[in-house]
Chains A and B, each alone.
Chain A
């Protein structure tokens, strides 16, 4: 089976990879590029653990082929912190204890960051709907929602 050569950007860096046409972007990120922060929960678009951004839009990387990434700008959880310096969302997730096992957390961070870029002042309802495709089996969601709302408030205050 012939492999496809793809050039894309991941978290701002140019990447090149060869992928099998059946491989998803999730497979490529984890297995070809070693970016294992993006998790696989279901593989069918239901859980959001694999959330990444593609050209600024939030998607499930399990529902996109690696081959489709040609020329795209991909954002993963690895690109959220600035070196050693955590993103305000990451700080708040720790502060609010908005995670337990952590499997859902990378996807939720990517999704929440994308929300705040679209809408710096979301209501609780807007946060809940935006994150409705990110399942968490541990926290009961409340702490996650509070961490996101608190981050939004803090970023607004800082600006």
Chain B
């Protein structure tokens, strides 16, 4: 295996394009090194992106949104009070990943590109309508985060393409988001079901909603119909029950050692209700 530490994205892309065999980009390494060690993936070329200036920075964009550099670790997101105030659901998602040690290294971009259906960092981003800046051999493009994972372990990124950062829109007034997951213990586990909800209110009424589920299908699921049920309401018990039913109905889970199809389907509804309530109270401020 060859190890490279390029100083620009252009150089990284060029290295990847010219590389023989299997290439891996390295950010926090919390997935890549496990795969390397276990022999699941044996890269011929490892391209460490952390030498690229700015890649470990969180920045406010001119329009009031955020750009999160690809190599920013979870602990740095949690320490950014302004980001947490704007997008608590996004931050609480990535902060659920692993231990203190893992939080020092694991990144949102890596969580997205690893393409696990159970990735805790991803539903919150999708609920927030986040995008990814993708740099490749033909220049750079903006992709919706929800379009990046295409199945367990696979993404829509072309060979040689790499994500330079994740973009969150301006939070704006009266908005709130939340992410919840179910695991059988209180920490250090992989989501059995995850759910993110992002709302905007006008007075008591919901005017915009995004509902997103993780770990109940091969990729993260966006639920436009469930979200539509909430618009125009003040999240009364009736609407919450309908939301739960819609979330359960949208699930296409598998049974595995973490949970059965029936269990995941039921829990998806419960989490959708609870996440919606938290998002609502955050939007209320």
Q: Are A129 and B33 in contact (CB under 8 A)?
A: no
| Distance in angstroms between the alpha carbons of A70 and B34 in the assembled complex | 21
Given A21-B46, A132-B188, A133-B188, verify A111-B101 contact (CB < 8 Å): yes
Q: Are A44 and B38 in contact (CB under 8 A)?
A: yes
| Distance in angstroms between the alpha carbons of A76 and B99 in the assembled complex | 18
| Distance in angstroms between the alpha carbons of A134 and B101 in the assembled complex | 9
Given A22-B36, A43-B37, verify A68-B50 contact (CB < 8 Å): yes
Q: Are B33 and A133 in contact (CB under 8 A)?
A: no
User: Per DSSP, are chain A's interface residues mostly helix, strand or loop, or mixed?
Assistant: mixed
Given A57-B75, A60-B102, A111-B100, verify A22-B1 contact (CB < 8 Å): yes
- Interface size for A (C-beta < 8 A) is 32
A78-93, CB < 8 A from B? none
| Distance in angstroms between the alpha carbons of A47 and B95 in the assembled complex | 18
| Distance in angstroms between the alpha carbons of A130 and B3 in the assembled complex | 32
Q: A38 at interface (Cβ–Cβ under 8 A)? A: no
Q: B23 at interface (Cβ–Cβ under 8 A)? A: no
Q: Are B1 and A64 in contact (CB under 8 A)?
A: no
Q: Are A45 and B100 in contact (CB under 8 A)?
A: no
Q: Are B48 and A64 in contact (CB under 8 A)?
A: no
Minimum distance in angstroms from B160 CB to a CB of chain A: 20
Q: Are B100 and A62 in contact (CB under 8 A)?
A: no
Q: A67 at interface (Cβ–Cβ under 8 A)? A: yes
Q: B29 at interface (Cβ–Cβ under 8 A)? A: yes
Contacts of A44 in B (CB 8 A): 34, 37-38
Minimum distance in angstroms from A20 CB to a CB of chain B: 8
Q: Are B30 and A45 in contact (CB under 8 A)?
A: yes
B149-181, CB < 8 A from A? none
Contacts of B237 in A (CB 8 A): none
Q: Are A51 and B46 in contact (CB under 8 A)?
A: no
Q: Are A58 and B100 in contact (CB under 8 A)?
A: yes
| Distance in angstroms between the alpha carbons of A60 and B55 in the assembled complex | 21
Q: Are A58 and B1 in contact (CB under 8 A)?
A: no
Q: Are B187 and A67 in contact (CB under 8 A)?
A: no
Q: B2 at interface (Cβ–Cβ under 8 A)? A: yes
Interface string of B9-48 (1 = CB under 8 A from A): 0000000000000000010111001101110000000101
Q: A151 at interface (Cβ–Cβ under 8 A)? A: no
Contacts of B2 in A (CB 8 A): 2, 21
Contacts of A45 in B (CB 8 A): 30, 33-34, 98-99, 101-102
| Distance in angstroms between the alpha carbons of A67 and B5 in the assembled complex | 9
Q: Are B33 and A1 in contact (CB under 8 A)?
A: no
Q: A63 at interface (Cβ–Cβ under 8 A)? A: yes
Contacts of A43 in B (CB 8 A): 37
Contacts of B38 in A (CB 8 A): 44
| Distance in angstroms between the alpha carbons of A10 and B16 in the assembled complex | 32
Q: A105 at interface (Cβ–Cβ under 8 A)? A: no
| Distance in angstroms between the alpha carbons of A45 and B46 in the assembled complex | 19
Q: Are B36 and A60 in contact (CB under 8 A)?
A: no
Contacts of A70 in B (CB 8 A): 5
Contacts of A114 in B (CB 8 A): 100
| Distance in angstroms between the alpha carbons of A70 and B98 in the assembled complex | 25
Given A43-B37, A62-B33, A63-B33, verify A129-B3 contact (CB < 8 Å): no
A38-75, CB < 8 A from B? 43-45, 48, 51, 54, 57-60, 62-65, 67-68, 70
B72-104, CB < 8 A from A? 73, 75, 98-102, 104
Q: B274 at interface (Cβ–Cβ under 8 A)? A: no
Residue of A nearest to B36 (CB): A22
Choose one: A1, A59, A67, A129; the contact of B101 (CB below 8 Å): A59
Contacts of A2 in B (CB 8 A): 2
- The 6 A-B pairs at the shortest CB distance, nearest first, are namely A133-B99, A21-B3, A57-B104, A60-B101, A67-B3, A132-B187
User: Can you report 24 residue pairs joining A to B where beta carbons are below 8 Å apart?
Assistant: A2-B2, A22-B1, A24-B33, A43-B37, A45-B99, A48-B99, A51-B101, A57-B73, A58-B104, A59-B101, A60-B101, A63-B28, A63-B33, A64-B33, A64-B105, A68-B26, A68-B29, A68-B50, A114-B100, A129-B100, A130-B100, A132-B99, A132-B100, A132-B188
